[in-house]
Amino acid sequence: MKPVDTIAACRTSHRVLLAGLGPLSDDDVRVPSLLPGYSRGHVVTHIANKTKAHVVLLGGPAAGEVRQLHPDGYDPDLAADLAATGRPAAELRSDLAQCFELLEATWDALDETHWDRQGMMAAGLRTMREVVGHHLRNVEVHHVDLNIGHRPSDWPAILVESELSKRLRSVPDRADHADILAWLLGRAPAPELTGPW
């Protein structure tokens, strides 16, 4: 079934992010983001590259394929993201807007029977519905990383409720159990979590 509500949240997130990027100058996009080692321009490029990769992945069901997000076994986006240094702000915004338009058109065109088909994400097989949820997380979390006024309190409820339950299930695997328990009992600070987000 088509994830109508998640797609609607993504469309809104796209517009809010593009509006937030609107006032940024060329100098502004070269400022470090909250993501270590990434400027704002790198983060915008990363969102655009990941969006393009999702378009390719979502094309798999119509072609009768289970496509991989990173078929070469590594994240080629990282090199492309880091090569983004120096791109003008207007070019970054335009590229991102085009990527969002292409993804939204891909969602509109995807056959109703294909939403349960799978593609290979970095974390394993995911349905096309789940890919949409991943995209929403990517846009919203990186919007906060840009440090342009978007905060976790601005995240849409559909993202928070979906992701919180997933993240809570993974907490025991990401820190010492005694440290987690001490934190939950109010006897210690939150433990540092290991592993990818």
Q: What is the mean pLDDT of residues 33-52?
A: 94
Is residue 69 within 8 A of residue 122, CB to CB? The reply is: yes
Which residue segment(s) compose the domain that 101 sits in? 4-155
| Ordered alpha helix ranges (H), 76-197 | 76-82, 89-109, 128-145, 157-170, 177-184
Task: Establish if 34 belongs to a structural domain.
Answer: yes
Residue 70 — pLDDT band, cuts 50, 70, 90? confident
pLDDT value of residue 122: 86
**Average pLDDT score, the chain:** 91
pLDDT value of residue 83: 59
User: Which residue reads 């702000």 in tokens?
Assistant: 89
Q: Terminal CA-to-CA distance of the chain, rounded, Å?
A: 27
Task: Establish if 193 belongs to a structural domain.
Answer: no
Query: pTM of the full predicted structure?
Result: 0.89
pLDDT value of residue 173: 85
Q: Which two tokens stand for residue 155?
A: 């995240």
What's 49's domain CATH number? 1.20.120.450
Give the number of domains in the chain.
1
Q: What is the mean pLDDT of residues 23-30?
A: 96
Q: What is the pLDDT of residues 77-111, one digit of tens each?
A: 555 555 566 799 999 999 999 999 999 999 999 99
Is residue 43 within 8 A of residue 146, CB to CB? The reply is: yes
User: Which residue reads 């915004």 in tokens?
Assistant: 93
Q: What is the mean pLDDT of residues 175-191?
A: 91
List the beta bridge partners of residue 61: none
User: Which residue reads 């990363």 in tokens?
Assistant: 46
Does 40 score more than 70 pLDDT?
A: yes
Task: Establish if 186 belongs to a structural domain.
Answer: no
pLDDT value of residue 79: 56
Task: Establish if 174 belongs to a structural domain.
Answer: no
What is the distance between the alpha carbons of residues 19 and 22, in angstroms, rounded to a whole number?
Answer: 5
Amino acid sitting at position 165? S
Residue 4 — pLDDT band, cuts 50, 70, 90? very high
Task: Establish if 191 belongs to a structural domain.
Answer: no
pLDDT value of residue 116: 96
Is residue 19 within 8 A of residue 93, CB to CB? The reply is: no
Backbone angles phi, psi at 120, to 5 degrees: -95, 105
Q: What is the pLDDT of residues 111-137, one digit of tens each?
A: 999 999 999 998 889 999 999 999 999
How far are the Cα atoms of 43, 98, 143, 149, 155 from residue 33, in angstroms, in the given order?
Answer: 7, 22, 10, 12, 18
Q: At what angle do helices 157-170 and 4-21 cross, to 10 degrees?
A: 100
Residue 197 — pLDDT band, cuts 50, 70, 90? low
Q: What is the pLDDT of residues 134-182, one digit of tens each?
A: 999 999 999 999 999 999 999 999 999 999 988 888 888 889 999 989 9
Task: Establish if 100 belongs to a structural domain.
Answer: yes
Does 14 score more than 60 pLDDT?
A: yes
Task: Establish if 70 belongs to a structural domain.
Answer: yes
